[in-house]
Amino acid sequence: MFRRTFSVPKHAASALKTMLPEDLVKRIKWDKLRSKSGSFSDAKLTNRYSDVLFEVEIDDDLAFIYVLYEHKSEPEKWTLLQLLEYMVRIWRAYLRERGGKKVDRLPIILPVVLHHGQAGWTAARRFIEYFGSLEASLRPYVPNFAILLDDVGKVNPDDLLARPLTAEAKVVLLCLLLGRTPERLFEELPKWHEPLSEVWREQDGALVFSAVIVYMNQVARIPEEEITMALQHSLKLTPAEEIFFADEVLRQRALRKGLREGRREGRREGQQELLLKLLRQRFGELPTEATATIQAATLAELEDMGLRVLNAATLEDVLGKPAQKRK
């Protein structure tokens, strides 16, 4: 939900303008804000972090804004170390895109951390804090950068409502703020009639609410029907509009599910084609049974077979069972 909303420049810009220092906000050319594709955080840490990278201009110089969202309510002690790794990846990607040797300097990266834990951010805010009480003579030799922190978990919902954000950004941040305390969220929702209604009027409003419902169901374990009813009540819909709302949200959820399944099936087919090509190069013409085994395999099974290709002595070693004679 975070990435879906805040990878859109207009929503990200509205939020970043409230996080960054005022003098920096004035120097950034917000009309040049562009979202960069891909993720630079570790795949194994997707349950902890989501990230979005933006390209922008500060004065007339290229710069990046890297936003890292912490999913966990407790701050990770070594988040800034993770950030440093991700920033190096961004710079290396930049050098690859520009041809490396043709570049004479690196663009700055503004590291932004969005934290929603209600206890607040208690970890380091500057990288140099990791070195303890470092004497002044050693400080020039260690990395030192500060994060731009939005400790949204400590923000009062009324203050969040008053922030100059897009309606969708407000609604998503409210869900991140109160997602783990649904009783508080349900108390607050009626006050949020105006931004909720604005989101609903947007072309992709049903998709936004679908994402909200799925998020609340996953985080707070609230039945989707209960969340849907709370949103309908807060939107002050007529009975006919409530039916339309439920139908539209249900349709968007079905579309999202279909897209996920389609992408998964596409990955499986791609893995099949690659594995068949590797096996033919390694073992020659394949038996019909071997081809059938690969075509019937799940994505996980195909990935395991792909790993076994590297060291397998026989086709049987790759497939994990005897292959029939060629026909």
pLDDT in tens, 140-182: 999 999 999 999 989 999 999 999 999 999 999 999 999 888 8
Percent of the chain at pLDDT > 70 equals 91
Domain boundary among 125, 154, 183: 154
pLDDT at site 323: 46
pLDDT at site 73: 77
Residue 181: inside a domain: no
Give the count of domains, the chain: 2
Residues 123 and 249 in one domain: no
Domain boundary among 154, 188, 208: 154
Note down the domain range covering 278: 244-317
Q: CB under 8 Å, gap of 24 or more: what pairs does 53-58 form?
A: 53/90, 54/9, 54/12, 56/28, 56/29, 56/30, 56/32, 57/28, 57/29, 57/32, 58/24, 58/27, 58/28, 58/29, 58/108
Residues 149 and 51 in one domain: yes
Residue 202: inside a domain: no
Residues 135 and 258 in one domain: no
Residues 9 and 107 in one domain: yes
Summarize the confidence of residues 93-109 as an average pLDDT.
88
Domain boundary among 106, 126, 154: 154
Residue 108: inside a domain: yes
Tokens, residue 132: 């303890």
Which is more confident, 114 or 297? 114
pLDDT at site 112: 96
At 46, the pLDDT band (50, 70, 90 cuts) reads: low
Q: Which residue, 11, 320, 45, is CA-closest to 164?
A: 11
At 288, the pLDDT band (50, 70, 90 cuts) reads: confident
pLDDT at site 310: 64
Residues 268 and 149 in one domain: no
Residues 250 and 146 in one domain: no
Rounded distance between C-alpha atoms, residue 283 and residue 308, angstroms: 14
Residue 123: inside a domain: yes
User: pTM here?
Assistant: 0.74
Residues 251 and 138 in one domain: no
**Has residue 311 got a pLDDT over 60?**
yes
**Has residue 327 got a pLDDT over 50?**
no
pLDDT digit string (tens) for 198-257? Answer: 999 998 888 888 889 888 888 888 888 898 889 999 999 888 888 888 888 777 666 656
